[in-house]
Structure 1
Amino acid sequence: MEKLDLEKLKYPIGKFETPTIYTSKYLLDKIAEIESFAEKLKKATLHLSDEQLDTSYRPGGWTVRQVIHHCAESHMNCYIRIKWTLTENNPLIKAYNEVLWSDMPDNLKMPIQHTLTLLEGLHFRLGFIMRNLSENDLEKSFFHPENNSEYKLKEIISTYAWHGNHHLAHITTLKKHKNWQ
């Protein structure tokens, strides 16, 4: 039972499931989720104290502060990968070690306000560029060396919508469990 509970804490909305079909409506819904992520994250964390921000969302997991900074780092990488994909032919992207990044002083100690502001601008830009992708653009891909796989831009839209919702749920689930406002 404890393993099941830990798994639910790790994946509060479930693991990412790749859709079989990417309809226009599906992609527009996912883009809307990406566009609204920064505001939802801001609302979920607005009144948290430093002590709450430094609380892990699960045993052995990141703190709320680390999750927030991780989202900015991950989604910045997403944006750059999209730009490379649109301007190069199947580029080889650079992977990064998110665990080591999360243990750096900025992720451990920096206030969240500037990261939340960064996410507002970043998610506006992500939404803008994603809404302007052509059918041809959606099929363009990049190569990820870490898992030796190719990813199409339409897959990236789906993945990052899930990624934002996944980490937002880490925070909202913790708040509910701790009875934080």
Structure 2
Amino acid sequence: MPENIDLRYPIGEFTYGQTYTFDQTQEHLAAIAVFPHNLTELVGRWGDSRLDTPYRPGGWTVRQLVHHVADSHLNAYVRTKLALTEDVPTIKPYEEQDWAKLPDYTLSVAPSLVILSNLHQRWVMVLNSLTEKELQRHYFHPASQIRFSLSEAIANYAWHGEHHYQHAYQLAVRNHWV
């Protein structure tokens, strides 16, 4: 394996505090829209041995990764709706590492892939309707003490999907599964 591959951040880390144009946000929305299809095409037919392979030493298995993305994007959808209906709501953080130890993370990835497909259909419908002004609505994340605009949150979740897709894809490349 080449030494220059960062298994933890294969596309680099997300840079917080950026501003995004309306056109950039539209590109991020397109990435969010296609993500469930791309992930399903990659891992949807993998058997247990592949799904139970960690994407990096000490990292989650692909199975855990898929369930995590569904949980994360469910939270993102709720945070979006809170930001649109409340004045700078304080969102509820959750312990991702602890959620990954719960029994539902041992299930087939099929339920989470279906959740992602249906969730993204609804989420993208809401996101595509937003005006430039609405994209500047915020929510507050108490763990990081950051106010996120919806445009930044959209960029973050576009990055998040690709980040985890690349974890699985790069594992597949390294193991000659694709």
Distance in 1 of aligned mates of 2:95 and 2:18: 29
Given the alignment of the two structures, is residue 17 of structure 1 paired with residue 34 of structure 2, yes or no? no
Runs of 4 or more above 6 Å deviation: none
Given the alignment of the two structures, is residue 41 of structure 1 paired with residue 42 of structure 2, yes or no? no
Per-residue deviation, 1:47: 2.4
Distance 1:99 1:20, change over 3 A: closer
Distance in 1 of aligned mates of 2:125 and 2:35: 14
1:117 alignment partner in structure 2: 114
Compute the RMSD of aligned alpha carbons: 1.7
1:90 alignment partner in structure 2: 88
1:105 alignment partner in structure 2: 103
Q: Which amino acid aligns with 1:120?
A: S
| SS state at 2:46 partner | coil
- TM-score, scaled to structure 1: 0.93
2:145 alignment partner in structure 1: 148
Per-residue deviation, 1:98: 0.3
What 5-or-longer segments of structure 1 have no aligned partner? none
Maintained 8 Å contact 2:54/2:60: yes
Distance in 1 of aligned mates of 2:153 and 2:17: 12
Per-residue deviation, 1:16: 1.0
- TM-score, scaled to structure 2: 0.95
1:77 alignment partner in structure 2: 75
Moved more, 168-177 or 11-20: 11-20
What 5-or-longer segments of structure 2 have no aligned partner? none
Q: For each residue in 1:117-143, what CA deviation from the matched residue of structure 2 results, as whole angstroms up to 9, or x when unmatched? A: 110011111211111111221111011
Q: For each residue in 1:19-62, what CA deviation from the matched residue of structure 2 results, as whole angstroms up to 9, or x when unmatched? A: 74412221111000000000000001022110110000000000
Distance in 1 of aligned mates of 2:32 and 2:17: 17
* Identity among equivalent pairs (%): 40
2:30 alignment partner in structure 1: 32
Distance 1:19 1:144, change over 3 A: closer
2:155 alignment partner in structure 1: 158
Maintained 8 Å contact 2:19/2:151: no
